[in-house]
Structure 1
């Protein structure tokens, strides 16, 4: 099997969002827009729209295993990401396969709660993510509630965001973004980045007055994954991801009657693509 001049390929390991705004659908749209070929391992199916999650069902671990094996037998995947993993059994199945197959750098988006408040990861699976998945992560991208659940901290200040990032790195994740979008400060949103080499920095953007932010975490992590699949450095992948998400919010579209999706067709100014 030849891998000469293979087009960049990335993998989303996640749940399906029938409403199309988040989950695997957001991953696919983002990876495609970043000119990378997107592949999938489906972990769960949700009945979901912009108003919330009405129901979901996790797939059997055997089918998860078979999806991984199919991809490994044929494709040349250069980066991968996780999203919704549902429960302990599914997290363990994904961890097992990530150890078995080399799909490049791993972005862990520790999805726990949907925008509308529905749980997407069982409480008892949080420790499994912490102990078994994070040590495999090239980068982990929690929002504030997710960072609190993984570290056991209460995070309200910049200093606590930095401390949480250090704790997540100590758990095994090489690089960390703690996203500050859940802060009560309405003027701006700041994310703290801690890199494997010890470098750290803040990324701050002005808040945009919209409720159409469904899928922001999925989109950021998918963009980072796509950039890593193209061979970008981790810092450049992070900065491109931030610029892309910012554009998808500011160049918004109207879909549905609740927390609407991002505009994945958004144009990112060339000077923002580092």
Structure 2
């Protein structure tokens, strides 16, 4: 890659005075087990954003539970967005995550057309640990590739990068050259900046890589805790976007998101049934609100 600037110097949103930006959050809504809109709404609200949800599906609980109910909301999205258009709703960012059907990609692309100046943030939620989530069909995985082009921030883990690029998944312990191969492929597909999450060399650190066309790659690392939790990816991307919407550089936003997820996971250990319940971030939301102070 041509190295002309560090991602720490890449600013994707300039906050102006007391203005409260609007974020269209295109995610599922989960009744139990904290993830998706249940994370995005409070985290972005704490950052002083007006969060406008676009629910892609409704779940009784997240998909790690053996029993869950899912309602596909595809049929309502077109009239839902028609009403927004009629009312003249304006968005400063479009933030998408878990989708329920291939046709929902077109709804996100519609938002891009109707809000051409909005920041495009794509968390391609499709799987982890080399496994695709049970509700994701091959057709939906293929359709997700259509959101890579034009993404201002794309935040795949290594599993999702493999699905999007077709490069073989090689586990979490991969070298920098393999990460760069994935990044270059995603940039060639049209992403503007890419954050590859969750590289693990088994040394007690978790690494996120930030790169983009014409900017120098950056590694941001932090302590890896000895347990995993559902919903950490949603929390990472939501807190990253929160920092960006507060005027932080991309590199600083990735660093903030990693620290915020870590701190929330520490709190979570003391909660009952935390392995399935999800990340208990609520008591740490003050860290997000402090982003508004500077």
Q: TM-score band, normalised by the shorter chain?
A: 0.7 to 0.9
Displacement after TM superposition at 1:12 (Å): 1.0
Given the alignment of the two structures, is residue 127 of structure 1 paired with residue 147 of structure 2, yes or no?
Answer: no
Residue 28 of structure 1 aligns to a residue whose secondary structure is helix
Tell me the C-alpha RMSD between the 2 structures.
3.0
Closer/same/farther in 2, CA of residues 44 and 232 from structure 1, 3 Å limit:
same
**Aligned 8 A contact 1:88 1:124 in 2:** yes
Displacement after TM superposition at 1:10 (Å): 1.6
Residues 107-147 of structure 1 show CA distances to partners (whole Å, capped at 9, x for unaligned) of 111111389974243221222221x2111310111111111
Closer/same/farther in 2, CA of residues 125 and 254 from structure 1, 3 Å limit:
same
Query: Structure 1: which 5+ residue stretches go unaligned?
Result: none
Residue 251 of structure 1 aligns to a residue whose secondary structure is helix
Displacement after TM superposition at 1:17 (Å): 1.2
Q: Write out aligned runs for 1:200-211 (5 A).
A: 200-211=217-228
Residue 23 of structure 2 aligns to a residue whose secondary structure is strand
Higher RCO structure, 1 or 2 (CA under 8 Å, sep 6+): 2
- The residue that corresponds to 2:5 in the other structure is none
Residue 149 of structure 2 aligns to a residue whose secondary structure is helix
2:206 to 156, 170, 189: 189
Residue 102 of structure 1 aligns to a residue whose secondary structure is coil
The count of aligned residue pairs is 267
Q: Write out aligned runs for 1:159-198 (5 A).
A: 159-180=177-198, 183=200, 185=202, 187-198=204-215
Distance 2:63 2:133 in 1: 12
Distance 1:100 1:8 in 2: 16
Q: Write out aligned runs for 1:30-45 (5 A).
A: 30-45=43-58
1:110 to 124, 134, 147: 124
Distance 1:15 1:244 in 2: 22
- The residue that corresponds to 2:81 in the other structure is 68
**Aligned 8 A contact 1:223 1:241 in 2:** yes
Residue 127 of structure 2 aligns to a residue whose secondary structure is coil
Distance 1:65 1:133 in 2: 18
2:238 to 216, 222, 230: 222
